[in-house]
Amino acid sequence: MSKIPRSSRTPASRRSNPLKGHSRPVTPLELAAGLLQQTVRFQQPPDALLAQALRGPQRLGARARAAVGDALFAALRDLPRWCWLRQRVRGEGVSEVDVARLRDDAAACRDIVALAWPGEAVDVLGASATDAGPDALAARSAAERLPAAPEPEPVRLGLPGWLIERLRAAVGDELAALADALRAPAPLDVRVNALRAKRDAVLTELRAAGLPAEPTPHAPWGLRLPARTPLQAQPAWVWGHLEVQDEGSQLIAALVGARRGETVADFCAGAGGKTLALGADMRNTGRLYAFDTVGARLQRLQERLQRAGLTHVHPVTLSHENDPRLQRLAGKIDRVLVDAPCSGLGTLRRHPELKWRHSPQTIAQMAALQLRILTAAAQLVRPGGRLVYATCSLLPEENDAVAQAFQRASDGAFELLDAGELLAAARVSRADAVTADGALRLWPHRHGSDGFYAVAWRRR
């Protein structure tokens, strides 16, 4: 029950190595192309593949390592553009991105990565071209000589056609601005651990260390830094004063409104980011359950709990959303957060591969799963308690449609609450700017955060 589906992940022992089969040192171009091929098989996310590959036996300098990562993510963010340019260079008819074909087309992946290669590191690309077979600069040079031509809409927006139509229905004339925001790298948002520090003190400390930190616009404990800001050596990080967490995720935890001494459940805890935020709001008192169906995630949470100074969290691995062990908690939980498994399309700035992983069919499957999980979690809420449903999706099918279906099925047992009022009570700045129609609605192009949706109910 994690935010981004992991069903296609494979165990570490079965993961294929993008460098396998190379009898000579791999070049940066080959490495990036191999990583692109692996990514579109959707067995691991690109950041995990990249980290694994850079720990391998190859010896790449700092610039080459950075260029490989930049080229991989640039290729994923603007895949329609690179495929379109490649088709024009080769004199082929223009067609939509065929991800299934890329999985077995090493030459296409090499051309795409070469086209996406960062201009400031083109010397790294040129140095690797000699050993990579055909000249990797040829496609790039030919693309630069192409005459101007009208760009198809997927090329302009960097999105598959089916997703364009759904997002247009959601944001109308703002679609181009949203698409641009989704292609931009995300900043680094952190949450100050209220158990151990004050935001102003941590802000002063980071600025004194030369880091350009700023308070997040809305979340009362958030700070925003440029992408790739190194934090691991900072005392505030070492001592557990900071946790990496997007501002939108922080606002969802604020919507739950967890208090001292309560019993709270994070029904789909995943990596535990919101669990940690809820625990800080509870001031390490009461009882906080972290439920998930994948025990490995909860094991990783243990280290984060220790670092954050939380001792009242109880991780529980469930077999499914209707695990019989939940029956003893039915009607007893003060607040339940359902951060449901979803498409993750609100996180495309960080996970650009997701727009190629999903389809209308997978979205429909997600929505059905979300409703089942929300219905099961609602049984835990005590009378007068609060239930929060959240996703990091931009699509109404996973958001409003699921919330409305649950409301109808509950037959009046749950009263819809105004998210703006709840967030204002949680000291969220300008709560009206992040809510609409009673729900929390965050858009990357409007709010600078990932895309999130959340709605809250009170059990009558």
Note the pLDDT of residue 17.
Answer: 53
In a domain, 15, yes or no: no
Considering the domain architecture, whether residues 62 and 131 belong to the same structural domain is answered as: yes
Considering the domain architecture, whether residues 308 and 453 belong to the same structural domain is answered as: yes
Rounded distance between C-alpha atoms, residue 352 and residue 429, angstroms:
30
In a domain, 10, yes or no: no
Q: Which of 139, 158, 177 is the last residue of a domain?
A: 158
Which helix or strand (DSSP H or E) is residue 215 part of? strand 214-215
Considering the domain architecture, whether residues 266 and 373 belong to the same structural domain is answered as: yes
In Å, what is the CA distance from 120 to each residue of 225, 310, 340?
A: 23, 45, 40
What CATH number is given to the structural domain containing 123? 1.10.940
> How many domains in the chain?
3
Location of structure tokens 């703006």? 420
Q: Which DSSP string corresponds to 244-291?
A: E--HHHHHHHHHHT--TT-EEEETT-TT-HHHHHHHHHTTT-SEEEEE
Buried b (16+ CB within 10 A) or exposed e, 364-381: eebbebbbebbbbbbebb
Considering the domain architecture, whether residues 314 and 435 belong to the same structural domain is answered as: yes
Residue 66, CB half-sphere, CA atoms under 13 Å: how many?
9
Taking the model in full, what pTM does it have? 0.92
Considering the domain architecture, whether residues 193 and 272 belong to the same structural domain is answered as: no
Residue type, 142: A
What CATH number is given to the structural domain containing 222? 3.30.70.1170
Q: Supply the range of the domain harboring residue 34.
A: 25-158
Residues 6+ apart with CB under 8 A from 455: 388, 389, 390, 403, 416, 419, 438, 439, 440
Considering the domain architecture, whether residues 227 and 257 belong to the same structural domain is answered as: no
Residues 6+ apart with CB under 8 A from 169: 396
| Total Cβ atoms within 10 A of residue 22 | 15
Considering the domain architecture, whether residues 274 and 407 belong to the same structural domain is answered as: yes
Strand, helix or coil for residue 145: coil
In a domain, 172, yes or no: no
Considering the domain architecture, whether residues 387 and 454 belong to the same structural domain is answered as: yes
Q: Which of 158, 180, 207 is the last residue of a domain?
A: 158
What CATH number is given to the structural domain containing 435? 3.40.50.150
Considering the domain architecture, whether residues 194 and 310 belong to the same structural domain is answered as: no
Considering the domain architecture, whether residues 67 and 210 belong to the same structural domain is answered as: no
In a domain, 368, yes or no: yes
Strand, helix or coil for residue 209: coil
Residues 6+ apart with CB under 8 A from 138: none
In a domain, 180, yes or no: no
Give mean pLDDT in consecutive 10-residue pieces for the chain, a chain of 460 residues: 40 46 72 96 95 80 92 97 94 86 93 93 73 66 91 96 96 98 96 97 97 98 95 94 97 98 97 96 98 91 94 96 96 98 97 96 98 98 98 98 97 97 98 97 97 98
In a domain, 3, yes or no: no
Note the pLDDT of residue 12.
Answer: 41
In a domain, 34, yes or no: yes
Considering the domain architecture, whether residues 87 and 136 belong to the same structural domain is answered as: yes
| H runs (alpha helix) in 258-399 | 273-281, 295-308, 354-357, 360-378
Rounded distance between C-alpha atoms, residue 135 and residue 3, angstroms:
42
In a domain, 375, yes or no: yes
Considering the domain architecture, whether residues 195 and 154 belong to the same structural domain is answered as: no
83 counts as catalytic = no
Rounded distance between C-alpha atoms, residue 30 and residue 128, angstroms:
8
